Amino acid sequence: MTGITPAMVILAVRALVRVGAAARESYEQKIRDAEILMPLPEQIDLDPVTHIRAIAKDDRFKDRFLADGDLAPYWDANKKAPLDGEEAQRKIIEAVELIWETELATPPNVKTMTGGGLKGQEAGYMILKQWAEGAEPPPPLARVVLTLAEVTLEFVGSNPSILGMGSSGEKLITALSEDLRELLPDADNPQDWTAAEWSKFYFVQRAMAIFLHAGLKTITEKPDVIIEEVEYRALVSNVLTPLVRTFEQDPQKVPSLLVFRDTLFGPMASAAFKTLAEHQEAFFGGRFSDSKAVGAVTKVLFETVAETGETNIRNVFTDDGLIQLYQAVLGVMVKRPEFFVGRGDSAEATLKRDLLLNVAKALQESPPPFTEELAAPLAIVALDALGNYAATSLDEEDAWEAVAEESILAFVGGLKDGLKTGNMESAFAKVLSREQMVVLTEIFFAQAAETPGMLLPGSDNKELKNLVGAVANAMATDGARLLSGEDWLIIAQVAAEEAAKNPDRLFQIDVADPEGQLANMLIKQLLQGAADSFGEEARRDGKIMFGETLRDVIITTLHAAAGNIEGATAHIHELEALEKRINQLASNNKHKIGIREAKMLFKELIVSVIDDGTVVVKRDNQRLSVSISDLTDEELMRFLA
Amino acid sequence: MKRRIAPWAALITAGLLLTSCAGVSLSRLQNDFNQLYQEKEACLSAKPTMAEEITNVKSIPCTEQAEAALFDLSQSAKSAADKAKDQRTKVALLRLAGLSLWQSGRGAEKEGNAFVNKVSMEGEFVCDVIEKKAKKGEIYGAPRDCALLTILQALVWHSEYKKRLEKLDEQKPSEESKKEFESLIGNYANNTVLFISSREKKAKAFTGLSSSVKDYIDEAKRRSFCNFQKAEEIALDHSMYRDLESKIDDQFQTMSRKTGLNRVDDCR
């Protein structure tokens, strides 16, 4: 391969692309040089005596058939055939066979037919090669160049300058061809290639085509971005090379790598190029100049995908999900490259190699609907959030990937605890759409990442777990569907904020049971109250404790309870009673009490109810604390005035 | 006599018509040739069906169908060769055109013979140009296809002589047939064995030619030489032709002298 330089490859590709059709015509060479079937002139059936005659006429043997010859008594010189009679024929045949056996060499044509056609010769044809061994054009590199040219041709139509001097396309192809030396066997000695080397060649050829396609696509989409050849080279050696190395080092992983190459490698390479184009400064400024991190992440992905152990990552994530996950990891890397590269030279040393596998393992346990399609978004949300978290809250030495794993485990654990009874899993799945599920995840992870101390390396993140469990459990109990998915997301946001602001209050750290969490109890109690008072004639009856009203009642309760958890715990039933009473008031005065009034009233009275379970009213010019059930409509209406 | 047409022949013929209109693929034509050749061989070795024997209703001999399709293929290949931009592809298509015509069995017909001559000469002309560049190292040529085009005419003539010999062997001798036989004896060597021999050096000298093609040339020459023994058989089997034996011997001696081939050593 020493004779081929990257400059030659780029020249070849450019030349082929320039002539356009020539690139395609070059494929004719492959067809032209294929072996062909060539019929031989048909042999005519001859009488056996003809062969005897040939000997009788041959200068070396003819004397034996003439006058004094030993075979003359048995030979008819006129007919040029053995005389009639068994003995004469036997004598002649024996003599001829002896001559054939002892005096004649193997026919020269049989001796020299070494071109592979001997077998076909019996069938009337030969298989002919175009070239003598070693005389044929060197196919492997030519094929790679042709493949690169073919890929490039796709883009030349829409972007003619893609291969111009000094263009991004040229730099990319030069970078790729530089790596050819490392990736391919010696192209100058194709006959020395073993079967394994040939399979590697085809693997590399296809992978390079996919990689180039992804690169040119990015260049076409972002024509203003200037990426230098050295940067492309770094990307090639960090993305393509690990794939090829994994291919050649572990034959058992080859089948899954082939599938990976054809389904995921293209999108993954696109993601890598995009990250490169969009974050050049992050990648190539200062200490991140060698882009080791891309390689580290990519290698981890290859190894994880090729893993055939207990947890098969491709059973947990969809293909799209896996690519998005890869992008998310790249995203974290852009924010804090040092977490991947570390201070030393070894990129892999700082990246926990089984990050994705462990995430997959955690998600494998995840209850529906956080499986399959939602598994990747969940992981991505977690990684995104953790990327931000890592950027602000972790030191280089901290194992951010451990925090990522642990927080996902906490989230999944919370879901499992919260939805463990009855048919809660399916009830929960009905409350939110898939998109809303992702938003819910974002709410929790974003809040956790923003809250100092909520996520800690080496902890089991109980706060997050309890928060998720309690909210999910409450959501699953909304059997009457009094709240929409949007309402629930807003409640979850408030719950998460309150949990962050007031640790160990609404969501107690050491209470493992989600149903034992105050926030959960409050929400469920209010839900129950709303459901009880809703009734069959709910809408005609003018009742309002559902949707926006109920949502705000719950939110108001959470805010208020966070300030007085003892009171809220002690007067939880009174809170429900207040809710019911307001609902009843609205029903009785449907022209006077609407959503706005109901919300105002609840807000006005909740602090008092939480404090001692009563409401202070004026009766007969005296201020009296009365229970909710004793409140008249007029007294309640007076609060609104 | 009722006729039925084998579906494969119809399909390939239709395919060839389409191919000639829509840009020809060397690969496709070569594949068609391989298939037709094998069909033809299968036809030649097939026995008549029981139904054909009982009812005396014969299908069109499938050999003829295959040969007709091969003829069409030769025209398509020539047409594609005329359009080919790459000279080496052109040569490959000319080789295929000549080969198909040879296998169609129409090489001795006036038009067929002219076709083969045209294909061979055109091919040789292009091959000379290619070879000059190949020798200079400017391009990789098409050594196999050029070598085969160089001896193509001999292959076609050999098939024709083989047919004529088989016919002479079967028919009752007459003055007319004797004249025909004499003519064949006089031309056989020049148009087959000696033709190959005279072009062998050139054919085998194409840059980078595979040993399998060299073997093929040797084998084609050997078979042509050995098959001439059939002429001797016919001459000795029919008293009317016996005086032609010496002419046949003369031809053998000439062929042996010029080629180094020997009946005893090379025709067992």
Longest dimension (CA), chain B: 66
Interface mutation vs chain A, best among B167, B263, B264, most A CBs within 10 Å: B264
Name the residue among A44, A61, A129 with its Cβ closest to that of B230.
A44
The encoded tokens of residue A59 equal: 């200068």
Q: Looking at CA atoms only, how far is residue B221 from chain A in angstroms?
A: 9
Predicted interface score ipTM higher than 0.95: no
Name the residue among B223, B233, B249 with its Cβ closest to that of A50.
B233
Is the confidence at residue A151, as pLDDT, over 50? yes
Lowest mean pLDDT among A98-107, A337-346, A567-576, B191-200: A337-346
| Cβ separation B33–A37 shorter than 8 A | yes
Lowest mean pLDDT among A105-114, B113-122, B161-170: A105-114
Using the Cβ of B238 and the Cβ atoms of chain A, whether some distance falls under 8 Å is answered with: no
Instruction: Provide the pLDDT confidence category of residue A146 given band limits of 50, 70 and 90.
Output: low
Q: Which amino acid is at A289?
A: S
Rounded Cα distance, A323 and A275, in Å? 13
Q: B34 contacts in A (CB within 8 Å)?
A: 37
Reference A30, options A150, A118, A120; nearest CA is: A150
Phi, psi of A81 (to 5 degrees): -155, 160
**DSSP assignment of B104-161, as one string?**
HT-TTSHHHHHHHHHHHHHHHHHHHHHHHHHHTTSS---HHHHHHHHHHHHHHHHHHH
Q: Which amino acid is at A74?
A: Y
Is the confidence at residue A638, as pLDDT, over 50? yes
Name the residue among A37, A43, A126 with its Cβ closest to that of B227.
A43
Rounded Cα distance, B194 and B225, in Å? 9
Is the confidence at residue A284, as pLDDT, over 90? no
Q: Where are the alpha helices (DSSP H) in A184-318?
A: 195-221, 229-235, 241-249, 254-260, 266-278, 280-284, 292-306, 313-316
| Cβ separation A41–B226 shorter than 8 A | no
Q: How many CB atoms lie within 10 A of CB B171?
A: 12
Is the confidence at residue A52, as pLDDT, over 70? yes
Instruction: Provide the pLDDT confidence category of residue A394 given band limits of 50, 70 and 90.
Output: low
Name the residue among A32, A37, A117 with its Cβ closest to that of B89.
A32
Instruction: Provide the pLDDT confidence category of residue A403 given band limits of 50, 70 and 90.
Output: confident
Is the confidence at residue B146, as pLDDT, over 90? yes
Find out whether A578 and A628 touch, Cβ atoms under 8 Å: yes
Please name the residues between 287 and 316 in chain A that touch chain B, using a CB distance below 8 Å.
Answer: none
Using the Cβ of B262 and the Cβ atoms of chain A, whether some distance falls under 8 Å is answered with: yes
Name the residue among A41, A60, A131 with its Cβ closest to that of B210.
A131
User: For A60-82, how does the pLDDT look when each residue is reduced to its tens digit (9 = 90+)?
Assistant: 888 999 888 899 999 988 888 89
Using the Cβ of A20 and the Cβ atoms of chain B, whether some distance falls under 8 Å is answered with: no
Name the residue among A31, A58, A115 with its Cβ closest to that of B26.
A31
pLDDT for position B76: 93
Residue B196 host element (H or E) = helix B193-204
Q: B263 contacts in A (CB within 8 Å)?
A: 54, 57-58
Using the Cβ of A57 and the Cβ atoms of chain B, whether some distance falls under 8 Å is answered with: yes
| Cβ separation B214–A115 shorter than 8 A | yes
Using the Cβ of A573 and the Cβ atoms of chain B, whether some distance falls under 8 Å is answered with: no
The pairing of beta strand A614-619 with beta strand A622-627: antiparallel
Q: A126 contacts in B (CB within 8 Å)?
A: 212, 215-216, 219
- To which residue do tokens 């529906």 refer? A368
pLDDT for position B196: 96
SS in 3 state form for A450-514? Answer: HCCCCCCCCCCCHHHHHHHHHHHHHHHCCCCCCCCHHHHHHHHHHHHHHHHHCCCCCCCCCCCCH
| Cβ separation B215–A125 shorter than 8 A | no
Q: Looking at CA atoms only, how far is residue B140 from chain A in angstroms?
A: 7
Cα B133 to Cα A24, A26, A133, B83, distances in angstroms = 22, 17, 20, 21
Q: Looking at CA atoms only, how far is residue B208 from chain A in angstroms?
A: 5
Using the Cβ of A53 and the Cβ atoms of chain B, whether some distance falls under 8 Å is answered with: yes
| Closest chain B residue to the Cα of A61, Cα to Cα | B264
| Cβ separation A50–B218 shorter than 8 A | no
| Closest chain B residue to the Cα of A46, Cα to Cα | B230
| Cβ separation A41–B162 shorter than 8 A | yes
Instruction: Provide the pLDDT confidence category of residue B138 given band limits of 50, 70 and 90.
Output: confident
User: For B112-136, how does the pLDDT look when each residue is reduced to its tens digit (9 = 90+)?
Assistant: 999 999 999 999 999 999 999 988 8
Q: A28 contacts in B (CB within 8 Å)?
A: 26, 86, 88-89
| Cβ separation A114–B263 shorter than 8 A | no
Radius of gyration of chain B (CA): 20
Angle between helices B175-191 and B193-204 (to 10 degrees): 20
pLDDT for position A587: 84
| Cβ separation B265–A114 shorter than 8 A | no
Please name the residues between 11 and 30 in chain B that touch chain A, using a CB distance below 8 Å.
Answer: 25-27, 30
Find out whether A581 and A598 touch, Cβ atoms under 8 Å: no
- ∠ CA A498-A502-A504, rounded to 5°: 115
pLDDT for position B19: 38
Using the Cβ of A67 and the Cβ atoms of chain B, whether some distance falls under 8 Å is answered with: no
Is the confidence at residue B257, as pLDDT, over 60? yes
Using the Cβ of A106 and the Cβ atoms of chain B, whether some distance falls under 8 Å is answered with: no
Using the Cβ of A129 and the Cβ atoms of chain B, whether some distance falls under 8 Å is answered with: yes
pTM above 0.80, yes or no: no
pLDDT for position A502: 80
| Cβ separation A129–B213 shorter than 8 A | yes
Q: A108 contacts in B (CB within 8 Å)?
A: 265-266
Reference A317, options A274, A380, A258; nearest CA is: A380
pLDDT for position A291: 53
User: For B34-65, how does the pLDDT look when each residue is reduced to its tens digit (9 = 90+)?
Assistant: 888 888 887 877 766 666 666 655 555 678 88
Using the Cβ of B266 and the Cβ atoms of chain A, whether some distance falls under 8 Å is answered with: yes
pLDDT for position A123: 59
Q: Looking at CA atoms only, how far is residue B181 from chain A in angstroms?
A: 17
As a whole number, the mean pLDDT across chain B is 85
| Closest chain B residue to the Cα of A115, Cα to Cα | B212
Is the confidence at residue A398, as pLDDT, over 80? no
| Cβ separation A44–B207 shorter than 8 A | no
* Cβ-based contacts under 8 A for chains A and B: 161
Using the Cβ of B207 and the Cβ atoms of chain A, whether some distance falls under 8 Å is answered with: yes
Using the Cβ of B126 and the Cβ atoms of chain A, whether some distance falls under 8 Å is answered with: no
| Cβ separation B268–A104 shorter than 8 A | yes
Q: Which residue would you say has higher pLDDT here, A456 or A497?
A: A497
pLDDT for position A416: 82
Name the residue among B25, B218, B245 with its Cβ closest to that of A109.
B218
Q: Looking at CA atoms only, how far is residue B52 from chain A in angstroms?
A: 27
Is the confidence at residue A3, as pLDDT, over 60? no
Name the residue among B26, B213, B222 with its Cβ closest to that of A28.
B26
User: For B86-104, how does the pLDDT look when each residue is reduced to its tens digit (9 = 90+)?
Assistant: 899 999 999 999 999 999 9
User: For A165-224, how does the pLDDT look when each residue is reduced to its tens digit (9 = 90+)?
Assistant: 677 777 777 777 776 666 665 544 545 555 556 667 777 777 878 888 888 888 777 777
Using the Cβ of B152 and the Cβ atoms of chain A, whether some distance falls under 8 Å is answered with: no
| Cβ separation B268–A107 shorter than 8 A | yes
| Closest chain A residue to the Cα of B98, Cα to Cα | A38
